[in-house]
């Protein structure tokens, strides 16, 4: 898995196909059986975390020198995609572990990498990403969380909102203002630990979908951390945050692919079994055309996502455009496919006895987080290849 970038027309290599088979088998056996209950009870998918850690799939992106698998970007996409096919909430374990830790990988000191990537790779800790705030969503540079230097320490104060897996993760990459006069160039990045004095969490948000992944506010009340927990140089945090998103928007595209594939697979099986007017509804051309469109759009989204993953691995100059395009297109496609899957199941699709309504609810967030699709279009327009 390590370092492979030979994607023949963005087609996965044999090792990627083997990885897909492994993750799919794991997801179907140990994650899918709990997906409905995780959603219904809005509880963290502990079974999924245990299964992923046991198979060393919770953070495959961590480089080998820090105890990880050293998986390339496409392998990481495949893991997230296959887990999302079974349970979108569970797919946020590997996805957010990459999001939270990538700033350390991209810009952190060697000491920070050794300290925080090892436990992540072993499954002893999860990593979250704290960028958004109550008044700083799409305008992330407008954040108000502050970090003030005090000798060999930094003292952080502020509130972060919409933080995925907050309260479960041990580690948090936190963006904070260190020089208010410089706007985005006055923002720095830090690693904050859940156990640091002054760190607390709000109540879990009551969400439409991905109910098994806790989304909470993170409160920083005079959190005093050693100065060596800064990621990169002072004032480089926002640049690191944006560079991180170039890579991790592709993981949201992967999540969207998995949700859409799960819905398509279920709908395809259903229309072969459901009979009306004396024959399976899958024999009707109107239904066949819907399935054809769903499959066509899903494959287009997959090719774009895998292409973006290849560019992420190679650090291509047009990664920003392709990362935004993959996330935007795949999430729009996922919303469309899951909605059509509900339609194909008719009244049954609208009930919680069948999984497609959950997939439809889960798909919606992929159009919103890690930058709304309106913001993705702005990013694309500014970075046309």
State the DSSP H helix or E strand holding residue 286, giving kind and residue range, or none if neither. helix 285-314
Q: Which helix (H) or strand (E) holds 226?
A: strand 215-226
Structural contact between residues 186 and 235, judged by C-beta atoms closer than 8 angstroms: yes
Catalytic residues: 370
Give CA 370 to chain center in angstroms.
8
Tokens of 97: 């572990």
- Greatest alpha-carbon span in the chain: 79
187-193/230-231 β-pairing: antiparallel
For residue 203, what is the DSSP state?
Answer: P
Cα 118–Cα 94–Cα 353 angle in degrees, nearest 5:
150
Alpha carbon distance 116, 169 (integer Å)? 12
CA distance 356 to 340: 9
Q: How many angstroms separate the Cα of 208 from the Cα of each of 30, 128, 262?
A: 24, 21, 18
Closest by alpha carbon to 91, among 106, 80, 104? Answer: 80
Which residue, among 376, 292, 288, has the nearest Cα to 332 in the 3D structure? 376
Spatial separation of the C-alpha atoms in residues 170 and 194, rounded to whole Å: 5
CA–chain centroid gap for 253, Å, is 8
The per-residue DSSP string of 235-271 comes to T-HHHHHHHHHHHHHHHHHHHHHHHHHHHHHHHHHHH
Determine contact, residues 325/308, Cβ cutoff 8 Å.
yes
Phi, psi of 138, rounded to the nearest 5 degrees:
-60, -35
């Amino acid at each position: 898995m390590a370092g492979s970038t030979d994607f023949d027309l963005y087609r996965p290599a044999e090792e990627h196909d083997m990885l897909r088979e492994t993750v799919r088998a794991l997801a179907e056996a140990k994650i899918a059986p709990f997906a409905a209950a995780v959603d219904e009870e809005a509880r963290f998918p502990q079974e999924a975390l245990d299964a992923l850690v046991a198979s060393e799939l919770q953070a495959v992106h961590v480089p080998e020198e820090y105890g990880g698998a050293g998986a390339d970007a496409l392998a990481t996409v495949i893991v997230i995609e296959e887990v999302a096919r079974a349970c979108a909430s569970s797919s946020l374990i590997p996805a957010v572990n990459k999001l939270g830790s990538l700033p350390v990988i991209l810009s952190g000191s060697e000491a920070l990498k050794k300290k925080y990537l090892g436990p992540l790779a072993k499954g002893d800790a999860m990593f979250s990403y704290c960028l958004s705030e109550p008044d700083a969503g799409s305008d992330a540079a407008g954040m108000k969380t502050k970090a003030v230097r005090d000798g060999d320490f930094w003292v952080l104060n502020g509130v972060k909102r919409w933080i995925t897996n907050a309260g479960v993760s041990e580690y948090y990459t936190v963006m904070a203002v260190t020089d208010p006069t410089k706007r985005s160039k006055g923002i720095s990045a830090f690693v904050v630990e859940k156990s640091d004095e002054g760190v607390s969490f709000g109540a879990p948000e009551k969400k439409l979908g991905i109910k098994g992944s806790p989304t909470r506010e993170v409160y920083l009340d005079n959190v005093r951390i050693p100065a060596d927990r800064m990621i990169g140089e002072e004032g480089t945090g926002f640049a690191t945050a944006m560079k991180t998103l170039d890579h991790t928007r592709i993981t949201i595209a992967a999540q969207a692919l998995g949700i859409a594939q799960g819905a398509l697979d279920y709908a395809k099986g259903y229309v072969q079994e459901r009979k009306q007017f004396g024959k399976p509804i899958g024999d009707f051309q109107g239904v066949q055309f819907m399935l054809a469109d769903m499959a066509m759009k899903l494959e287009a989204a997959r090719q774009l996502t895998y292409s973006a993953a290849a560019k992420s691995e190679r650090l291509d100059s047009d990664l920003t455009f392709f990362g935004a395009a993959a996330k935007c297109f795949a999430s729009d496609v996922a919303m469309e496919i899951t909605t059509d899957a509900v339609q194909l199941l008719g009244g049954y699709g609208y009930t919680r006895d069948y999984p497609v309504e959950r997939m439809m609810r889960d798909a919606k967030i992929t159009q919103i987080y890690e930058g709304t699709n309106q913001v993705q279009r702005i990013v694309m327009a500014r970075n046309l290849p």
